[in-house]
Amino acid sequence: MAARAGRTRLWVLIEHPGPWPASAPDGVLPDAVTDAVDAARSDVRVLLIRRARRRHIERPLCILAWSDGIRSWMREGSLGDYGELTDLPFETIAAGTEPAFGRPRRTPVFAVCTHGKKDACCAELGRPILAALTSSEDADAWECTHVGGDRFAANMVVLPDGLYFSRLGADSARDVVDAYLSGILALPHLRGRAAFSLPAQAAEHAARRAGGITAVDALEYLRETAAPDSDSTTVEVHLAQRRFRVVVRAGEPQTPFHHGCGAGAQVAWHRWTVEELQEVSKGSPG
């Protein structure tokens, strides 16, 4: 499961009461909106969100959340209609420029995939998670459309950091949220940081485990270098003023399996192999 978060830097969360077809957000939002997003960058993801208790929305909420893995910001505002989203400069926002849209948002978002029309696993396993989190006044939890990784359900994305947590139950989801709000990452359920490539996600995860570093804000620097004529990647990671050098590569494909709860072909994935992990030095990065 580790290092399998789909790459995303800009998240566009749009309140929509449903119903959500399997293709959502496509087929729900105006074509001009999805075209504007698609024309921006590949690392932009649109999620529809909703509160289970709100089935009529006069002015939908829109939340923009951006992170490059180190820096992050969020903004939120209300929409008169969904077509207003075409006025947003998605290309510059995706590059990290914070827009004038709405107002800054400081409270993290916990987006739980419950997109049953996309895959039954998401609804069956995601809704109990949502129910567990909405009973807490500390967690701003929302239902959302597909975030990827049906096999890892229940899935939750924490924004603005873009952290995927997976294979959650009601109790473990509360534990993950409580830990995050206390500044701690629950590594056993951490699937990856969406702002990074898969090798970089694997390296951060491995370095955190090796160093026993779980602070949310510990990550200070990350740089990856692909080896020429090789499938290995060297990643330099600075965590809590400690430096790690991690070499990872894609392992051999695993036994094919059926992915998710719906119909579909079998897939064969690989696990990430850590070929080398070395703590280079301690002290301030520089």
Strands, E, within 186-241: which ranges?
Answer: 190-193, 219-226, 232-239
Cβ-contact 64, 11 below 8 angstroms: yes
**Percent of residues, the chain, with pLDDT higher than 70:** 91
Q: Where are the domains of the chain?
A: 10-187, 197-282
pLDDT of residue 123: 85
CATH number of 10-187: 3.40.30.10
Average confidence (pLDDT) over 256-260? 59
Average confidence (pLDDT) over 12-34? 93
Average confidence (pLDDT) over 42-63? 88
CA–CA distance, 71 with 258 (Å, rounded to integer): 37
CA–CA distance, 47 with 151 (Å, rounded to integer): 19
CA–CA distance, 43 with 9 (Å, rounded to integer): 6
Average confidence (pLDDT) over 173-198? 96
Task: Encode pLDDT of 206-256 as tens digits.
Answer: 999 999 999 999 999 999 998 887 889 999 999 999 999 999 998 776 676
> What would the two tokens of residue 7 be?
């790459």
Task: Encode pLDDT of 95-121 as tens digits.
Answer: 999 999 999 999 999 999 999 888 788
Whether 284 has a pLDDT exceeding 50, the answer reads no
CA 176 to mean position of chain CA atoms: 14
